[in-house]
Each structure stands twice: as C-alpha cells, then as structure tokens.
Amino acid sequence: MPTLSPPPLLNQSPYQTYVYSYPHKTAYLPFPVRSLADIWSPEKRDALFLYIHVPFCEMRCGFCNLFTTVNHHDEFVNQYVNTVQRQAERVKTALGAVQFARFALGGGTPTQLSIAALETILNVAEDTMGANLKNIPISVEVSPETATAEKLRLLRDRHVDRISIGVQSFVDQEVLATQRRQTSTQVQAALTRIRDLGFPTLNLDLIYGLPGQTVDTWLHSIRTALQFQPEEIYLYPLYVRPLTGLGLTDREWDDVRLQCYRAGRALLHAEGYTQISMRMFRANYTATTSGPVYCCQADGMVGLGCGARSYTRSLHYSNEYAVNAKEVRHILEHYVTREDADFDIASYGFELHREEQQRRFLLLSLLSNEGLSLTSYRDRFHTEPLADFPPLQQLLDWHLASQRADLLLLTEAGIERSDAIGPWLFSHQVHSLMTQYALK
C-alpha cells in the first residue's frame, strides 16, 4: 500500500513549488535504452497530446527556469527546425496509427521563428505527425515583441484557436525589474492585433510578487488585461529560481503574494471568471472541437524538440534538462547533431510504477476544479484513494478539501495552498531525486 508522510501543511509557506506535471524533470534519470515502438505499442493512442518545443527567446527573463536560449543565429535555428522534422519522421514511424486530440507549440517563444520556419513547424504537426489542425484545439505561445501581424495571420490561417501571451505586468517599472524590455504600450498593441484577427481564445499570463509591486498596481494590471476581454487569465506567483537572473534571494513574500492572489481572485470572480486551478481563471465560453477529447490523467503526450517531454502511463521520457545558458547550448548542440536512428529510442526519464501512477492521477485531478473523482480512481486502480493515501483525510480535517458525493475537491483555502499541497503528495522517491539533482 502507498505511504504518505507529509510535513505539516498549515505550518509552512503556501509557495513551495508549481506542480504543472508529475514528476518534475529534476527527478528524471538515465534508464536502459528502449525503442519508442516498444514504449508505445501497448498504449492507447487515439487521443494524444502533440507538443512541439521551440527553445528560442529574444531575452532571458529574470524569473525563467525554462529550457531556452537567447544566443542563436539563423543557421542554427534552421538546423534546429530541420532536426525537429527529422525527429518527427522517426517518431511517427514508431507510433504507427495515432490520433491527436490537442496540439501545442511552446518554448521558449515559437514566434521568435521566421515565417518560413514557423510554417515548417506547423507542417511537421499536420503533414508528418498527422494532426488534424482543423478539428483539434491548438495553442501557441507568443511574446509582445514577436506577435507581428504577419505571424499572427499565419497562425490564424492554420487554425490556431488559442494564443497565450506572457504579459506579467502592465506597469513598466515592474516589468523592467524582471529583466524584460517590453512596454505596456507595446503589449497593448500586440493584444489589439490578436483580438483583431479573431482568435477564439486569448490567454494572458500575469505575475504577482514582483519587486515594487503593490496590491493596487497588481489590480491595475488585471483591470488593464480585462479591457481585452481574455477568455483565460493565469495569475502566477513569482518564484525566484536558482541559476536565474532575478536578484532576489531568500526573501519570501508570502503576505504580499497572498494579498495579491486574494485580491486578484476576488476581482476576476466579480467579473464572471471561473477559477479552474490556483493559477487559471476562465471566462464563460464554449470550446469548439470536433476531434477526440484529451484526458490529462489517462492519455499520453508526444513531445518533439529538444526541451519536450513525452508521457505514457508508465514512462515519461525526454532529453536532459538545464537552465544555465552554457549547459542549454551544449544539450541543443547534441540534439541537432543526432543521427536519425537516435530518435528511435529513449534512455532518459522516469518510470512510473503503480504508486507513482496513483500519485500523478491524484495530483492532476485534485489541483484542478474537476476534483478527484473517486469513481474514476476506482475504475483505474481498483482501490480506494483514501485507503491508499490515508493522510488525504487531513485535507478534509483541515478544511482544505471537501467531499461532495463522488468528488474530493479543494476548498478556497485549499486552492490557494495548491503549491504546498502538490509537493506534499510527492513520493519519497521523487522528493529524494529532486533534492539530489545538481542544477545546471
């Protein structure tokens, strides 16, 4: 039976780590070489997520810990795009018959690519991988500087229906403190272009806890964002990561961040937004798709590009992870010089035995407004979640979660502590691997 020995949730900072997947790449290790054909042969492949990673940005933000680089030139970028094409051809052969339910192009900043390179990547998704771009949700990340009319028009013509843009703040001084050079005027011009081209879903990312930020300036940024009527808004607490450039060391701004979070949440609720997770708020709209439906707890992901990861139920695999510019460049150079046959195999990642699969299912369910379906858990694992993880009862006892019929749902107090509850549910093995990981 799985064991869980959590630290006291109520006696620690609510800001431990952002759980966007499980486990984090810092828990990945080398494993014996396996062919992709063998990895995917037993898997359900009729509703997969296709992700393509573009690791190029015009600048390195002070808070960013993504696998990305700013030191690049046209020849290397073209070599990278050609390598993604080569990788896709081998991966598609290994996958065989497959159907994609979603496609995302992220980074980095995909729109840092030239028009020709951006079109090539879209062709990789559609022609090589076989994703039906007309019938599935497609999301692309852009930046204010690279969201030109020409590139946005290409994306809309290729059926992209969701644009995600990192705004962070509409106060220029706050943005400058994160080592970004964009201005509020520039951002608003980009948002106007996006809206004029009719993308069905606009997502804005904002950050609270920035140097010099107050609750009033934070609400100013949210109100400015609301003028563009975004379908989605993500409110991110600032995390200062090791090996990143923001010169803010050990100071924890728990009080400020909680005040900003609560004020932002109240404002968005008043404006009719539904809270999907601690970070995500969504306006009332209906997503349109005629393709298969993707379920993050059950369906796999196929990642292309140097920084992408791929998921099956029992195995996550990727290339190595780094933040330091020199190490990122080294990994990228290795990626673009790989032989075609090297893309037929995987040898770095994390194998999820039964308990880890249970934890992942639990985390992805509980940290969203869908909640943990006890029936879905039983159907998948043929056991009871509260029996498998008895300390979950503590969430109920501490009023961080409530049970409504078949669902275990975080309360309002629980949602704002998502970044503490998530790590609390990590296994001892994952905690240990993440702690031992040498940042590079």
**Minimum mean pLDDT range among 28-32, 292-296, 332-336, 392-396:** 292-296
Collapsing DSSP states into helix, strand and coil, what is residue 12? coil
Average pLDDT over residues 153-177: 94
Query: CA nearest 281: which of 299, 295, 297, 267?
Result: 267
CA distance 403 to 373: 10
* Separation between Cα atoms, residue 347 and residue 249, nearest integer Å: 35
The residue among 210, 142, 154, 221 whose CA lies nearest residue 184 is 221
Residue 85 token pair: 């094409």
218 exposure class (CB count in 10 Å sphere: 0-12, 13-18, 19+): buried
Q: Whole-angstrom Cα distance, residue 16 to residue 420? A: 5
**Residue-wise pLDDT tens digits, 93-131:** 999 999 999 999 998 889 999 999 999 999 999 999 999
pLDDT tens per residue, range 320-357: 876 677 887 888 899 999 999 999 999 999 999 999 99
Q: Is the pLDDT of residue 246 over 50?
A: no
Crossing angle between the packed helical segments 354-366 and 374-381, to the nearest 10 degrees:
160
Closest to 301 (Cα-Cα) out of 286, 288, 317 = 317
Predicted local distance difference test score (pLDDT) of residue 107: 84
What is the rounded distance in angstroms from the CA atom of residue 340 to the CA atom of residue 328?
21
Of 367, 376, 378, give the one whose Cα is nearest residue 401. Answer: 367
Q: Which residues contact 317 (CB under 8 A, 6 or more apart)?
A: 28, 39, 309, 310, 346, 347, 348, 349, 350
The predicted-structure confidence for 377-409, as pLDDT tens digits, reads as follows 999 999 999 999 988 999 999 999 999 999 999
**Which segment of 38-47, 139-148, 169-178, 332-341 scores lowest on mean pLDDT?**
169-178
pLDDT of residue 131: 97
Cβ contact 36:346 at 8 Å: yes
Taken in order of first residue, the domains within the chain and their CATH numbers are 31-282 (3.20.20.70), 354-432 (1.10.10)
The pLDDT, as a whole number, for residue 61 is: 56
Percent of the chain with pLDDT over 90: 72
Residues 266 and 264: their CA atoms lie apart, in Å, by: 5
Angle between helices 149-157 and 184-196 (to 10 degrees): 30
Q: What is the pLDDT of residue 21?
A: 87
The candidate with the shortest Cα–Cα distance to 267, out of 220, 331, 322, 203, is 220
Rounded alpha-carbon distances, angstroms, from residue 238 to 18, 60, 167, 423: 10, 15, 13, 17
- Say how many Å lie between the first and final Cα of the chain, rounded: 36
